[in-house]
Structure 1
Amino acid sequence: MSSGRPEPDQPLYTISVAAELASIPARTIRLYERHGLLTPQRTEGGTRRYSDNDIARLRRAAELAENGVNLTGIRHVLDLQDENTRLRESRTSDGG
């Protein structure tokens, strides 16, 4: 049964909409992408599409940047958070 809400990983938003939702400029999103902070899905025509999870990641990256963390540090923090989430999910699915 569907709740009518999209899956958090479903690519829905163009870069301009993602920028508005994350409250950061599109050029910052492109910079984050170049530095490996996120990899949006692309349409067959090459248009970037961002998911709700991507928007949350953009917001977290922007928050870290505002607190003085450089791009390399941001990537490490986000990678550690992703790993922590994966570990929690695998522990939950294992009945842990």
Structure 2
Amino acid sequence: MTTPFGSPSPDAAVYVISVAAELTGLHPQTLRAYERMGLIRPGRTGGGGRRYSHRDLERLREIADLTSAGIGIEGVRRIMDLELQVDALRARNEELVAELDGVRRLLAARAPASPPGNKLPVLHHGVGQSVVVWRRPT
């Protein structure tokens, strides 16, 4: 997998363990230990050799920074899990904001003009009316 300019994508597993160790400043045994602990999952060749991606190297550097700051391995694991959760929540939030914008545009096209200063579309005029937004399950 390459980018449009011919360089490998950040997820392409291209670095052998010795190169990954040199680029991160970690010993190859440390990389193997982090893999055993489940902190990193390098790709594998058909013969079983480890191959690290650019994203793996960034993760290894982050682990090294956290451990050098005095954080234990379980703390590192928890921090990295929380970072993944935050990334997932940010992505979901962006999806919901885009969906809300679409609903607002749809309602604005159907509803009479809102009073000046009110940026929200008029959702209903009478008592007992409601708006239901249906979403496909993800």
TM-score by length of 1: 0.89
Runs of 5+ consecutive residues of structure 1 not aligned to the other structure:
none
Identity over aligned residues, as a percent? 43
Deviation at 1:23, TM superposition (A): 1.1
1:30 corresponding residue in structure 2: 32
Which residue identity is paired with 1:87?
L
Which residue identity is paired with 1:13?
Y
1:12 aligns with 2:7: no
Aligned CA distance change for structure 1 residues 90 and 8 (closer, same or farther; 3 Å): farther
Residues paired across the two proteins, number? 95
Worse-superposed segment, 2-11 or 78-87: 78-87
Matches of 2:22 and 2:38, distance apart in 1: 21
Matches of 2:82 and 2:16, distance apart in 1: 27
2:68 corresponding residue in structure 1: 66
Superposed structure 1 runs of 4+ greater than 6 Å apart: none
Task: Classify the secondary structure of the residue corresponding to 1:65.
Answer: helix
Aligned CA distance change for structure 1 residues 6 and 44 (closer, same or farther; 3 Å): same
| Alpha-carbon RMSD | 1.6
Task: Classify the secondary structure of the residue corresponding to 2:67.
Answer: helix
Which residue identity is paired with 1:80?
L
1:46 corresponding residue in structure 2: 48
Deviation at 1:95, TM superposition (A): 6.2
Deviation at 1:89, TM superposition (A): 3.0
1:1-56 deviations in whole A, cap 9, x for unaligned?
A: 81222111110101111011111111111111111101111011000000000000
Is the helix fraction higher in 1 or 2? 1
- Structure number, greater radius of gyration: 2
Matches of 2:49 and 2:66, distance apart in 1: 27
Which residue identity is paired with 1:57?
R
Runs of 5+ consecutive residues of structure 2 not aligned to the other structure:
98-138
2:91 corresponding residue in structure 1: 89
Relative contact order higher in (CA < 8 Å, ≥ 6 apart): 1
